[in-house]
Amino acid sequence: MFSYIIRRLLHLIPVLIGMSLVVFAIIHAIPGDPALMILGEHATPGALEALRAKLHLNEPLYQQYFYYMLDILQGDLGESLRTKQAISLEIGSYLTATIELAIAALIFAIVVGVNAGIIAAWKRASWFDYIAMLVALVGVSMPVFWLGLMEQWVFVDKLDLLPSTGRFNPREPVDGITGFYVLDTILTGNWAGLQDVVLHLILPSIALGTIPMAIIARMTRSSMLEVMKSDYIRTARAKGLREFWVVYKHALRNAFAPVLTVIGLQLGSLLGGAILTETIFGWPGVGRYINDAIAFRDYPVVQSGVLVIAFLFVMINLIVDILYAYIDPRIQYK
């Protein structure tokens, strides 16, 4: 297991280099002059040229990429062209907001998706099975931005039940300790703040988690149906165990391995694909951070932001693979 983990960590290197190359090429293909965006249209030619020289914009692309990777290897993500702040300091607060939203969305997707898939397999060909799979089909086909706008129309404009944007009420700010406001309000005993933060999480997490929920429900149902045909399930039933324990204790554990793969992949996609949800709900996450940087031609922020997301995505896949050994001891790593 240890050697497997080391090999997988070494595999991160070419993956991250390849990702940085792709992002670097795409970002530099976008038309526009970062120096002009920073200094404005009234800047003098001399000032523009001096800034281009400082940012190495006049040098060949391969040299610009070399300077960028050299900084990365030294632990320096660079400096934002827009705010003049270190990206490593700026991205932390945005990243915690995105991770908190992704975790909330994943909890929604797992709780609803896994239980819907289990019950659909348990009650196969019942009305619940048909409705659950229809909802899953609609959910996986529904665009995130459309669902987010519909949620705001129903729960904010018509019913006035939930807040529409932000992480908390600006008139009652939350004391930031870790940057995860749900955890921070619990640590400080701010129960009113906890309620406010959770209410702000509901709509964006449902919008972001609906597609993963549908995928997880379909995968859980399929996996459970396969496992329920096994001999040991028939033996468990023959021993007189209640159907609830047969399904949730014996069948679910073996059926959960492929579901765990889907969950890991969905968490990675949630981290990288939250940009639409963050834009609709005014969520101050890394997706909006990168989106704003693209509009400003802030190359270092875009490159570093995508690289951080890619690193998290690969690490999540590694953790999922390791968890396989715990869930299914039959799996061997060579």
Task: Dump pLDDT digits (tens) for 128-149.
Answer: 999 988 988 888 888 888 888 9
Residue-level pLDDT at 314: 78
Is pLDDT at 203 greater than 90 in this prediction?
yes
Domains and CATH numbers, the chain: 1-74 (no CATH), 94-327 (1.10.3720.10)
Res. 264 pLDDT band, cuts 50 70 90: confident
Residue-level pLDDT at 328: 65
> What is the percentage of the chain residues whose pLDDT exceeds 90?
15
Q: Are 180 and 313 in contact (CB under 8 A)?
A: no
Query: What rounded mean pLDDT belongs to the chain?
Result: 83
Provide the residue type at 129 as one letter: D
CA atoms within 13 A on the CB side of 213: 28
Give the separation between CA 277 and CA 270, rounded to whole angstroms: 10
- Tens of pLDDT, residue by residue over 63-119, are 888 887 888 788 777 778 778 788 888 888 888 898 899 899 999 999 999 999 999
Is pLDDT at 273 greater than 70 in this prediction?
no
Q: What are φ and ψ of residue 79, in 5° steps?
A: -125, 135
